Structure 1
Amino acid sequence: MNAPASRLVPGTVFDADACARFANLYPEQPGKIAHGLVGHPLFELESLVALSQRIRPVDVEQNLADLPIEVDPSTVQHNGLSVAESIRSIEANGSWMVLKFVEQDAVYRQLLDEILDELEPVVTARTGAMIKREAFIFVSSPNAVTPFHMDPEHNILLQLRGSKTMTLFPADDPELTPGALQEEFHRGAHRNLPYRDEFLAKGQPIELTPGEGLYVPVKAPHWVQNGPATSVSLSVTWRSEWSYRESDAHAFNRLLRKAGLNPAMPARHPGQNLFKAYAWRALAKARRLTGNPEPQ
């Protein structure tokens, strides 16, 4: 039997105060928590270059970062550089990039588990088991913009180098993310969202500096403006049975809408959306058994 790997993080990532803070926030309240990953060698630029060569090329996204808050993803331009060149020259090349699903690498998978294991007791008690643990590393030029979007996971963004301001919006506001839009999102539509100037008053700008993290609830819309220096940040995410039920309820709503109905929005936590979620799963299972494709 192989000996267990030594820890990558000496001590803890989150101290007692940070864990208590997370417990007060999770799962529906956004807010900052402190972390102890600043200066970790796995996030030095050369370490990230090496990581980028070990993960699948499809899991590296990079583009020019002088973007508006709302953008059609089809118009975003590649920066024309190799991945290694993009990382090494990030201070001056005006780019935004992300290394996706870095848990596919054994070392970063261990690091992700060390981070999330510290929070798992709170998560399990509130929303059930931590499902589908994933991690994403963002490397961004000064003043880069990440456009208005939402993500399907529970997420903590940990700032490691430089600063950024995330403007965060309520996850349960139907004006920002109406039911029909969410239904298409759960069918694979792009994460980017329409944005109007009227939304501004609903947003909360939150600045992150090294050593600060931000818990972002499932599908809370947000956009990000980097500060005046190169930024490196780590996003650690997970799904829960609750989040999958909410997603499945939106899928079932899409069928109801196609039938001419106007279904109520699925409930946020602590609602469980059991009827719609299980109805959708039963339909999906029946289609698999009969070989019929999912209705469009």
Structure 2
Amino acid sequence: MTFRHKLSETGLFTDDALIELLEKHPQNMLDVCTMGESNDPEFPNKFRTGDFRDVPGKVLIEAAKAGRVWINVRQAMTVHPEYKAVLDNMYGDLSKQSGTNVYNAKGGILISSPVARVPYHFDKTETILWHVRGKKVLYIYPMTTEFIPDEAHENSITNYIDDDLPYKDYFEDHAKIIELETDQAATWPLNSPHRVDNQTFCVSVTTEYSTQQSAMKNAAMLTNATLRHRLGMNPSYSRDGAVTRQIKSAFGRIISKAGLVPDTTPTDMVTFRIDPDVPDYLVDTEPFERRF
């Protein structure tokens, strides 16, 4: 579903406000990426991590407008008081309108180029995309194992930097398409596969929150991932009944606290840097591990 909002009226998403935000935001909570040309047809538009150190906020905004840049200001709506006040109002209004309490809502800000393409992926928690500036197209796909296989889901649950899913060209025949404009938000069922294509320079807020449903499902998926990677079994959330899912969910919370969940997160390698002296602001570098 989609709905309207008034985030553009807050003054927190203008170029000047975003430059100020980028200057003060913790470096370890900022991602500057570009879309790579993957040789794997199942993972097109794979994101590459960039080095933005010592680059002024103004230059990062210019790079997003001129190049192939996608900036994720992680937790911006949560850690900065002026943005947190807006986030609290957003979810306070949602609670009043829906009669549903939300839990531990968090929010980041996405700043992205006109040609940015977000790969085919899913979100681990309930998500709302609050579009603030520009135009983008959201593609949402069915929630079946054809479009989100159990093993791919499990791998993403145990991977802390990558939610990408294997993609096939024919998926487009089944996509629901939503065109988002200024001050329009969209939300979709938990874990629905989706991807996003920009039409212009864009600024969006992405928020996530946990519910009992998402927490139980994630815990069950952790159990299945553990059974698959530790014991060589072939579990399936889609085939499990309600009682089995509840048992696996309880076990998942236990093994998570015990530190027994396998970590499938690869090393985050930096492969380019932002350079204001080249036309698209992107310069390839020798790959090195991100430690900033």
What's the TM-score bracket when you normalise by the shorter of the two chains?
0.7 to 0.9
Question: Which of residues 180, 192, 195 in structure 2 aligns to 1:220?
Answer: 192
Deviations 1:182-211 (A, max 9, x none): 111111251122211121112112100112
Task: Give 1:12's aligned residue.
Answer: none
The answer to whether the aligner puts 1:85 opposite 2:55 as a matched pair is no
Q: Give the conservation status (yes or no) of the 8 Å contact 2:122–2:164.
A: yes
Task: Give 1:70's aligned residue.
Answer: 44
Query: Where does the alignment leave 5 or more consecutive residues of structure 2 unmatched?
Result: 264-292
Structure 2 Cα separation of the partners of residues 152 and 83 of structure 1: 30
Matched position secondary structure for 2:44: coil
The answer to whether the aligner puts 1:158 opposite 2:158 as a matched pair is no
Q: Give the conservation status (yes or no) of the 8 Å contact 1:61–1:99.
A: yes
RMSD over aligned Cα atoms:
2.9
Matched position secondary structure for 1:273: helix
Structure 1 Cα separation of the partners of residues 97 and 223 of structure 2: 30
The answer to whether the aligner puts 1:238 opposite 2:209 as a matched pair is yes
Q: 1:180 to 1:133 in 2, by over 3 A?
A: same
Q: Give the conservation status (yes or no) of the 8 Å contact 2:31–2:50.
A: no
Matched position secondary structure for 2:64: coil
Task: Give 2:13's aligned residue.
Answer: 43
Higher strand share: 2
Task: Give 1:115's aligned residue.
Answer: 90
Q: 257-266 or 107-116, which moves further after superposition?
A: 257-266
Structure 1 Cα separation of the partners of residues 57 and 148 of structure 2: 33
Percent identity between matched residues is: 22
Give 1:255 shift.
3.3
Q: 1:105 to 1:242 in 2, by over 3 A?
A: same
Give 1:262 shift.
3.5
Matched position secondary structure for 2:118: strand
The answer to whether the aligner puts 1:144 opposite 2:116 as a matched pair is yes
Task: Give 2:156's aligned residue.
Answer: 185
Equivalent position amino acid for 2:150 in 1: G
Matched position secondary structure for 2:19: helix
Structure 2 Cα separation of the partners of residues 267 and 243 of structure 1: 18
Structure 2 Cα separation of the partners of residues 56 and 198 of structure 1: 40
Give 1:84 shift.
3.2
Query: Where does the alignment leave 5 or more consecutive residues of structure 1 unmatched?
Result: 1-30
Q: Give the conservation status (yes or no) of the 8 Å contact 2:107–2:207.
A: yes
Equivalent position amino acid for 1:84 in 2: K
Q: Give the conservation status (yes or no) of the 8 Å contact 1:66–1:144.
A: no
Task: Give 1:277's aligned residue.
Answer: 249
Give 1:113 shift.
0.6
Equivalent position amino acid for 1:168 in 2: I
Deviations 1:158-189 (A, max 9, x none): 1211100011112x210121111111111125
Equivalent position amino acid for 1:235 in 2: T
Equivalent position amino acid for 1:114 in 2: N
Equivalent position amino acid for 2:182 in 1: P
Q: Give the conservation status (yes or no) of the 8 Å contact 1:267–1:273.
A: no
Structure 2 Cα separation of the partners of residues 280 and 221 of structure 1: 23
Question: Which of residues 108, 120, 134 in structure 1 aligns to 2:106?
Answer: 134
Aligned residues: 254
Q: Give the conservation status (yes or no) of the 8 Å contact 1:67–1:145.
A: no
Q: 1:272 to 1:106 in 2, by over 3 A?
A: farther
Task: Give 1:6's aligned residue.
Answer: none
**Which TM-score applies when normalising by structure 2?**
0.76
Q: 1:295 to 1:89 in 2, by over 3 A?
A: closer
Equivalent position amino acid for 1:39 in 2: E
Give 1:41 shift.
0.5
Give 1:115 shift.
0.3
Q: 1:124 to 1:56 in 2, by over 3 A?
A: farther
**Which TM-score applies when normalising by structure 1?**
0.75
Structure 1 Cα separation of the partners of residues 156 and 206 of structure 2: 20
Structure 1 Cα separation of the partners of residues 233 and 133 of structure 2: 49
